[in-house]
Structure 1
Amino acid sequence: MRKIILAGIGIVLIVASILGAKTIIDNKHKPKPVKEKVVKTVITDTVLNSDVKIVVPANGSLTAKQRLEIYAEVQGIFKTGNKLFKPGQEYRAGEPLIRIDASEYYASVQSAKSELYNSIAAIMPDLRLDFPDVFQKWQNYLSSFDLSKTTPKLPEMTSDKENYFITGRGIVTSYYSVKNLEQRLAKYTISAPFTGILTEALVTEGSLIRSGQKLGEFINPSIYEMEVAISKTYASLLKVGESVVLNDLDNTETYTGKISRINGSIDATTQTITAYIEVKDSALKEGMYLEAKLDAKTETNAYEMDRNLLQDGNQVFVVKNNVLELINVTPVYFSDAKVVIKGIPNNTVVLKKSVPGAYSGMRVKYAKSLDTAE
C-alpha cells in the first residue's frame, strides 16, 4: 500500500513539472514593444527677401606706393655722412643718402670749367672791336662765372654773325662738355627724392662702390598700396575712388582705403582683374597681409543663408506642416560661409541650421532657441 501511495505521488510530481515547464515556455513569447519614432528638433527662419549687399573678399600684402631702388651710376669710395646708411634710418626730402668720393673727378671738372673761362676771355678783345653791341653781355657773363658753382648758361646769341663767331671758337662745344661733366659729378651724391625710410642697405661706409651696383631700397612709409585679384564678373562694378574696408588676419584692426587704380586687362590664365587699393595709416608696415572687403553690388529681392544649407541640385529644405520638403532655388553669389539665393517666396520657413540625415518627408518640430535643438 505504501509503495502505491509513493508511486502516485511521483506521477503527480512528474505531471506537475511538465505542466510548469510548458507554462514557462509559453510565457517567453511576449510581443516586442513598438519603438517610438524620434522627431528631430530644428532651428528655422522665416524668409523675408530684401536687398543683399554683395561684398567680395580679397587679400594681399602691402607695398609702399613710393619706392626707390638705389643704384650707383659712378664708381668710388662710399664716404661717411651725417647718418649711418642702415635699414630703418629716416631721411628728409633732399637729404643726401650716399656720398661717393669724387675728389679726382671734381678736379677734372674744374679743369674743364677753367678752360671754358679762358676760351671766352680770349675772344673778349675781338668782341670789343668787331661786336661792340654784344661785348657787355659777354663781359657780364665772365664776371658772374664762378668756378665753385654750376656753370651759368651762355648768353643768348642775337645774330648769325655772333653765333658763327662764338661757335667757331669752340666755346659752345666746350660749354656742353662742361655741363656733361657737371651732370656726371652730381651722380656722386644720391639724395632722397622724398621723405622716407631706408628698408635695405647693401653697402657700408668705406666700401668700394661700382657703377651699376645696387646699394639699397628707400620707401615712403606714409602711404601703401595693396594689389588684389578680383573675378572678372565684378570688373565692371569696381570704380576708382571707392572706399574699401581692410582687416588684419586676426580681425583686431580695421583700416579704410580706396581703390586707386584698376588694371585695364584681364589675366587670361585666372580670368581675374587686378585692382590696387591705397591705404594710409601710421600703424601699417610694408609686407603686412590684409584682407579687403569690396562692395561689388546689391542683389535685390534675395536672401542670404549658410552655404552648407544649400543641397545638391540647388535645393534647400523648407518646413511645411512640420515636414521637411525640398524646393528649387537660384544661387547668385557664393562666399566662404554664405550663399545669396533667389526664388524663395516670402514668409517661407527654412532651416537655419543643418540637420544631420535630413530628407524630404522627414517629420520635425520647432526649437525655441539654439540651445534646445537636438
Structure 2
Amino acid sequence: MRQRIFNVLGFLGIIIIAFIAFKVMTTKKPKTPDVKAFSTTKYATAIKAEYADHTPILEAYGRLRSMNSIEVFSEVGGKMTLASSRFKVGNSFPKGSVMLEIESDEAEINLFSLRSEFLNLLTGIMADIKSDYPNEYGKWSGYLERYELKKNIDELPQYSSSKEKYFLASRKVFQSFYNVKNAELRMQKHILRAPFDGIVTESMVEAGSLVRIGQKLGKLSGTGQFELELTFTSDNAKLLIDGSTVEISSPDNDMKWQGKIARIARNIDPGTQSVKVFVYLTGQGLKEGMYLKANTQGIKIAESIEIPRAALINNRFVYVSYEGKLAKIEVEVIQIGDDIVYIKGVNPDTVIITEPLANAEIGMSIEPLFNNGEKGDQ
C-alpha cells in the first residue's frame, strides 16, 4: 500500500516537473534594446562659430518696364492719314512729334463756322458796348481787331462789373466763345503727338483705315526711364534701405547698370509671403521686358554668424560636433541668401558642420575638418 502511494506521488511529481519545464521553455523572453554601434568615423568640413557684424548682399531677379508707358486710343473718328504709316512696332518717336493723324476736314469746316458765328456776334454787340459801356469799348474793340478765323481764339477780355457780365451773358457771348474753344480742342485730337521719347511696342491700325471714337490704336513705351520690379522674401525685405544703390546686370553679366531703390511695398503677398521692390534706373541698352539681375547691400546685421547655405537644415537647424559626436541644434535664422546664411543662437566656438551629410545619424562619430588644416573639436 505504501509502495503504491510512493509510486503515485512520484508520477505526479514527474508531471508537475514536466509542466514547469514546458512553461519555462514556451514563455517569451524580453528583447534586449538594439544599440547601434558606430564603428566608423565620418569626416566633414566645419567652421567655428564666430560672432561679428556682417553686411549681407541681397540678390534678386526681375522684369524691366518703362516708367512712361501708355496705350494710345482715338478720341475722334475718321480715316487715318498717310502720316500714320510710321506708327509701327519698333519705330521710335521723339517727344512732341506726330505719331498718328486722323483726317480732320469736317472738323475744320465746323470750327471755321463757329469762329465765324462768334465774329458776327461780337460785331453785332460793339455798338451797344460803345453806348452803354463806353469805358469798356477800347478793350473789346482791340479784341475784335486781333481776332482771326485761322488762329485759335484768345481768352475773352475780363469784364469790369456785374452789369457788363450780365450783358455779355444775355447776348450769348460766353456760350459762343466756349463752343469755339471746344471745337478747337476736338480739332487738336485729330493729331496724336508723342508725350515723351518712346518706341512703339504695339500697333493696331494702318494708314487709310477708319477708326472709331475710343478705339485702341497701339502702345507707346518710353525709352529714357525704367523701373525694375524685384521680389524679396519678407525677411530679406526688412534689410533693404530705401534709396540705396543697386547693381544691375544682365543674367550673363555682359551688360551692367546702376539704379536706386525707388520704393518698397508696404504689403506682403499673401500667397508667396514676398515683398515687391521697385528700382529706378536709366542707361544705354535698356529695353522694356528685359530680365535682369540685381544686387544690393542690406543693413548691417550686428553680432551674427556667417555660415554656408548648405549648412542650414530645414531652414532651422545645423549639425554640430560635440565631443566628437554629431548633434543637431536649432538656430535663429536672420537672413538666408543663395550661398550665405546669417544666424544667431549658437555658443561661440561651437563647431558647425558646413557640408551636407549623407546618412547622418545623431550620435555618430564625426571628425571636423577646418580650412586651416586643423581636425577635431579643438
TM-score (norm 2): 0.78
Partner secondary structure for residue 74 of structure 1: coil
2:113 to 108, 111, 114: 111
State, as a whole percentage, how many aligned pairs show the same letter: 30
Q: What is the alpha-carbon distance in structure 1 between the residues aligned to residue 371 and residue 202 of structure 2?
A: 61
**CA 1:365–1:209: 2 relative to 1, 3 Å:** closer
CA contact (8 A) 2:197 2:224 kept: no
Structure 2: unaligned runs, 5 residues or longer: 1-38, 374-378
Amino acid at match of 1:315: V
Alpha-carbon displacement from aligned partner over 1:90-133 (angstroms, at most 9, x marks no partner)? 21211111111001111011000001001101112222222222
1:146 to 148, 151, 161: 148
**Correspondence for 1:330:** 331
2:319 to 316, 319, 341: 316
**CA 1:223–1:120: 2 relative to 1, 3 Å:** same
CA contact (8 A) 1:329 1:342 kept: no
Amino acid at match of 2:303: N
**CA 1:38–1:240: 2 relative to 1, 3 Å:** closer
Alpha-carbon displacement from aligned partner over 1:140-199 (angstroms, at most 9, x marks no partner)? 111110111101111111122222222211111111111111111111111111122222
In the comparison of the two structures, how many residue pairs are matched? 332
**Correspondence for 1:275:** 277
Amino acid at match of 2:318: Q
Matched, 1:364 2:355: no
CA contact (8 A) 1:73 1:187 kept: yes
Partner secondary structure for residue 266 of structure 1: coil
Alpha-carbon displacement from aligned partner over 1:24-60 (angstroms, at most 9, x marks no partner)? xxxxxxxxxxxxx765554343443222333443332
**CA 1:334–1:265: 2 relative to 1, 3 Å:** closer
CA contact (8 A) 1:110 1:147 kept: yes
Amino acid at match of 2:327: L
1:135 to 134, 137, 153: 137
Moved more, 212-221 or 304-313: 304-313
**Correspondence for 1:166:** 168
CA contact (8 A) 2:320 2:329 kept: no
Partner secondary structure for residue 225 of structure 1: strand
**Correspondence for 1:227:** 229
Moved more, 102-111 or 49-58: 49-58
CA contact (8 A) 1:55 1:297 kept: no
**CA 1:132–1:45: 2 relative to 1, 3 Å:** same
Q: What is the alpha-carbon distance in structure 1 between the residues aligned to residue 371 and residue 171 of structure 2?
A: 104
Partner secondary structure for residue 81 of structure 1: helix
**Correspondence for 1:199:** 201
Q: What is the alpha-carbon distance in structure 1 between the residues aligned to residue 268 and residue 360 of structure 2?
A: 43
Q: What is the alpha-carbon distance in structure 2 between the residues aligned to residue 169 and residue 184 of structure 1?
A: 25
1:255 to 257, 273, 280: 257
Matched, 1:58 2:60: yes
**CA 1:252–1:49: 2 relative to 1, 3 Å:** farther
Amino acid at match of 1:134: E
Q: What is the alpha-carbon distance in structure 1 between the residues aligned to residue 76 and residue 52 of structure 2?
A: 67
Q: What is the alpha-carbon distance in structure 2 between the residues aligned to residue 367 and residue 273 of structure 1?
A: 38
Q: What is the alpha-carbon distance in structure 2 between the residues aligned to residue 368 and residue 170 of structure 1?
A: 93
Matched, 1:121 2:123: yes
**CA 1:309–1:82: 2 relative to 1, 3 Å:** closer
**CA 1:174–1:87: 2 relative to 1, 3 Å:** same
**CA 1:177–1:311: 2 relative to 1, 3 Å:** closer
Q: What is the alpha-carbon distance in structure 2 between the residues aligned to residue 214 and residue 82 of structure 1?
A: 14
Alpha-carbon displacement from aligned partner over 1:311-359 (angstroms, at most 9, x marks no partner)? 4672323375xx3432525141333443322244444444343443444
**CA 1:348–1:132: 2 relative to 1, 3 Å:** same
**CA 1:84–1:252: 2 relative to 1, 3 Å:** closer
CA contact (8 A) 1:230 1:274 kept: yes
**Correspondence for 2:341:** 339
Matched, 1:74 2:76: yes
Q: What is the alpha-carbon distance in structure 2 between the residues aligned to residue 104 and residue 233 of structure 1?
A: 62
- 1:294 deviation in Å? 4.4
Moved more, 81-90 or 229-238: 229-238
Moved more, 99-108 or 222-231: 222-231
Moved more, 184-193 or 310-319: 310-319
Matched, 1:284 2:251: no
- 1:260 deviation in Å? 1.1
**Correspondence for 2:91:** 89
Amino acid at match of 2:198: G
1:245 to 227, 244, 247: 247
Structure 1: unaligned runs, 5 residues or longer: 1-36
- 1:83 deviation in Å? 6.7
Partner secondary structure for residue 260 of structure 1: strand
**Correspondence for 1:208:** 210
Task: Give me the CA root mean square deviation.
Answer: 2.7
Q: What is the alpha-carbon distance in structure 1 between the residues aligned to residue 318 and residue 273 of structure 2?
A: 28
